Amino acid sequence: MAAPRDRVAHLLRQLQRAACQCPSHSHTYSQAPGLSPSGKTTDYAFEMAVSNIRYGAGVTKEVGMDLQNMGAKNVCLMTDKNLSQLPPVQTVMDSFVKNGINFKVYDNVRVEPTDRSFMEAIEFARRGAFDAYVAMGGGSTIDTCKAANLYASSPDSDFLDYVNAPIGKGKPVTVPLKPLIAVPTTSGTGSETTGVAIFDYERLKVKTGIASRAIKPTLGLIDPLHTLYMPERVIANSGFDVLCHALESYTALPYHMRSPCPANPITRPAYQGGNPISDIWAVHALRIVAKYLKRAVRNPDDLEARSNMHLASAFAGIGFGNAGVHLCHGMSYPISGLVKTYKAKDYNVDHPLVPHGLSVVLTSPAVFTFTAQMSPEHHLEMAEILEREKLKRKLHYAPLARAVGESSSKKENLELWMAAIPGT
């Protein structure tokens, strides 16, 4: 069993050293060369960083008071054109007006943003000279707002300065940013909890991103009432994203196996590897997904199910935002980045689109068959959580069975994953 584990660990290390040259999710770009203070070659510490989170039905109405408490005088509200016509955005603007907050609306956020759409939002932010930001929407909106805040706060920086290597320079963020309140309306990305902003780099047709604890939102307002406006396929695909965030962070290479060890704590990456605290959040998110995702998709008025999925997104965000993701996300970027004509059901967009959660979940059976050899105990625990008796059609069990040395009579109980996928 040691040999298969070594092969998996070797691949995960190679992906990491290449900055995955999955440039979205590995972030070894931030690890400056040099010997660490401990003299170690692999890391010996992990750090938890997360936005403040407030949860409750109707909590969005408090956003104006929050800005008033921050002393904000000139606020940028970012959203997309579809959401700008729906009640959640009106709730935010009503709260602004009630509390005397001056604001301007930017509603040109692109679903699955690009470097071009980031730059348009950045230019709006620079012209506006805002002293606070509110991002209202899914991960695309929150990520766009993070980038706008960053580059408006660092006006002399070139766009690629903070973009992950090897595409960008991956410089650490040292400038102070303005407060950013994230109000998520989907239940997938967990972007309200993380210091990551993902986009398509059009010239190379790849996804990459910006990763720094400095860009995470100041506050996330998780209001389950907003999820009632999510179409069936949007909540399904965003649920797949939560599922894979939890699974991948729980099976990420442990932080103490990651190298090189940073010479300075500012260069320790946000995705630092699996750790005991991220594990707690990942497992809890997975339990919620297993219990509520099907209900949330099948019953659009089931506020309990949709509320719990909204929380699961944040919990998984805390997990993967401080541990990392790996192969599912790494392989999702060619799937979504090379899309030519496909347009997903329930997504009202004017461009071809493979929803992020869908592109991630497609490869998950193969990924977790492979990674099971690295940490069979974690994989078995996840299989238990996802009601393994329902998964027989979803994944071959033999590699996992071999990894844990189970007898043939036990093999029938080891098939993995997708219990939460609608229709199983």
**pLDDT greater than 80 at residue 58:** yes
| Minimum mean pLDDT range among 108-117, 153-162, 237-246, 263-272 | 263-272
Of the chain, the percentage scoring pLDDT greater than 90 comes to 54
More confident residue, 406 or 123: 123
Residues 357-389 have pLDDT tens digits of 888 998 888 888 888 888 888 988 988 888 753
Residues in CB range of 340: below 8 A, 6 or more apart: 352
Q: Which of 199-203, 320-324, 396-400 has the highest mean pLDDT?
A: 199-203
**pLDDT greater than 80 at residue 403:** no
- As a whole number, mean pLDDT of residues 55-77 equals 97
Determine the residue type at 72.
Answer: A
Phi-psi region of 293 (alpha: psi -120 to 50; beta: other; left: phi over 0): alpha
pLDDT at 205: 84
**pLDDT greater than 50 at residue 308:** yes
**pLDDT greater than 80 at residue 295:** yes
pLDDT at 389: 37
pLDDT at 14: 55
Q: Taking the domains of the chain in order of start, what are their residue ranges?
A: 52-229, 232-419
- As a whole number, mean pLDDT of residues 12-23 equals 48
- As a whole number, mean pLDDT of residues 34-55 equals 82
| Minimum mean pLDDT range among 39-43, 225-229, 295-299, 396-400 | 396-400
**pLDDT greater than 50 at residue 151:** yes
Q: What is the pTM of this model?
A: 0.84
232-419 maps to which CATH number?
1.20.1090.10
Calpha distance 285→293 (Å, rounded)? 11
Residue 106: its H or E element? strand 103-106
pLDDT at 188: 83
Burial of 14 (C-beta count, 10 Å sphere; 0-12/13-18/19+): exposed
More confident residue, 344 or 45: 45
pLDDT at 309: 94
pLDDT at 27: 42
pLDDT at 307: 94
**pLDDT greater than 90 at residue 412:** no
Q: What is the 3-state secondary structure (H, E, C) of 197-215?
A: EEEEECCCCEEEEEECHHH
**pLDDT greater than 50 at residue 74:** yes
Residues in CB range of 286: below 8 A, 6 or more apart: 243, 246, 247, 250, 316, 382, 385, 386
Identical fold at 52-229 and 232-419?
Answer: no
- As a whole number, mean pLDDT of residues 54-77 equals 97
52-229 maps to which CATH number?
3.40.50.1970
**pLDDT greater than 60 at residue 333:** yes
Calpha distance 279→291 (Å, rounded)? 19
pLDDT at 414: 35
pLDDT at 36: 56
Q: How confident is the model at residue 120 (pLDDT cuts 50, 70, 90)?
A: very high
Mean pLDDT rounded to a whole number for the chain: 84
Phi, psi of 174 (to 5 degrees): -120, -5
pLDDT at 181: 98
- As a whole number, mean pLDDT of residues 110-129 equals 97
pLDDT at 31: 39
